A and B are shown apart, each in its own frame.
Chain A
Amino acid sequence: MPATYEKIATTTLSSTASTITLSSIPATYTDLVAVINIGTDVAGNMQVRLNGDTGSNYSTLTLIAYNNTVTGSGTYSLSFMYAAVAGALPLTIGPASAILQFNNYSNSTTYKTMLARYAAAGVPEVDATVCTWRNTAAITSINLSSYSGSVYLVGTRVTLYGIKAA
């Protein structure tokens, strides 16, 4: 059987950046997986936008374990998706890790979803998130924006994989 899990792109920051964009994503896979190890100068939400859409077309539902407390929340009419609620951290505290799943990202009939797990041991916090982009278009770009003017730090690494079903 053919191999079906392929690396599409990797970026490792050699200078700080406020956004990381994966564009021109081919429609030749079934699912996308983004593996993120990230740090910022100021802790804050890691924000995801699809296809450059800055409208209020996103919503999110989260499970959050922060220290000894577990909570959940739901938010609608957002202009981005939360990849992590606590967000990235300065590297001196510890980079945050997240895996983002975009299943069936290239169909033109369903709203697109992002399913994510996130951990930041330095906070300490662990999250799970499911988000909806209320658009049926195929995902062609993924933009990661740092929180409120903060920047992603040198050493931040994002790798995008494609998974192809038989």
Chain B
Amino acid sequence: MPILGTVASQFSGKSFSSFESIQTVNITSNTATITFSSIPATYTHLQVRFIGRSSNVSAGTDNLQIRLNSDTGSNYAEHYLAGDGNNTVSASAQSSITNLVLRECLSRNGNSASIFSTGVIDFLDYTSTNKNKTMRALFGHDRNGAGYLALGSGLYFATPAAITSISFTVQSSNNFVQYSQFALYGIKGA
């Protein structure tokens, strides 16, 4: 591997064995649901890293919806802080909803080509059996100074069971389009 740059010369190549790839989904055609199932309980935290785009042909954004352990009940809550490129910043919350929500997360197919949303989602202490599960996320997309950028949080309060599956859908039955990618990683504790 080459030494990087004229200044960044202290190449190491050191790997961090506590961060591991569990599963990756690369979308090759319109797909309604992305699911990570049979998530092993051998890590301390989970992280999902993604780029994504909705099949919605109108310009704008769509929500990214997340369900844990296939629970379709009203057992979720969400809260966010967001900006859309104007001077206005918004914040809002919902409780007793049927999925976690990353509001206005996904760029639509009606936007300029090649603009995908990006984000990082963390599920901390996902194997605990005595705590409700929480999620935090940073996500957004920029389409020439417009778009959406948000800090999101979520709560799953049905049961303190460990998270064994995570599924993603697009609001209003839209699909994930080709080149969307969701990757699940596990982070080990000491």
Contacts and interface: CB of A to CB of B under 8 A. Distances in A.
Interface of A: 1-13, 17, 19-26, 30-31, 59-63, 70-77, 101, 103-104, 107, 109-111, 113, 115, 117, 128-132, 134, 136, 141, 158, 160, 163-166
A3 B10 contact: no
B2 A26 contact: yes
Given A163-B185, A165-B21, 4 more contacts: A11-B7, A63-B81, A115-B138, A115-B140
Contacts of B22: 1, 166
Interface of B: 1-24, 49-51, 81-89, 114-120, 138-149, 151, 179, 181, 183, 185-186
Contact of A8 (B4, B141, B143, B151): B4
B14 A128 contact: no
A137 B112 CA distance: 17
Contacts of A63: 81-83, 89, 149, 151
A110 B21 contact: no
A9 B141 contact: no
Contact of B4 (A25, A163, A165): A25
A60 B139 CA distance: 13
Contacts of A5: 15-16, 18-19, 185
Which of B12, B82, B84, B142 is most buried by chain A, counting CB atoms within 10 A of its CB?
B142
Nearest to A166: B21
A3 B17 contact: yes
28 contacts: A3-B20, A5-B16, A8-B1, A9-B3, A9-B9, A11-B5, A17-B7, A21-B5, A21-B8, A24-B5, A31-B183, A61-B146, A72-B84, A73-B83, A74-B83, A77-B144, A103-B49, A107-B179, A113-B117, A113-B118, A113-B141, A115-B139, A128-B140, A128-B151, A134-B144, A165-B49, A166-B24, A166-B183
B151 A59 contact: no
Contacts of A128: 138, 140, 149, 151
Contacts of A103: 49-51, 118-120, 181
A20 B10 CA distance: 13
A24 to B, nearest CB: 4
Contacts of B144: 59, 76-77, 132, 134
A6 B13 contact: yes
A17 B147 CA distance: 34
A12 to B, nearest CB: 7
B12 A130 contact: no
Contact of A10 (B12, B23, B119): B12
Contacts of A141: 5
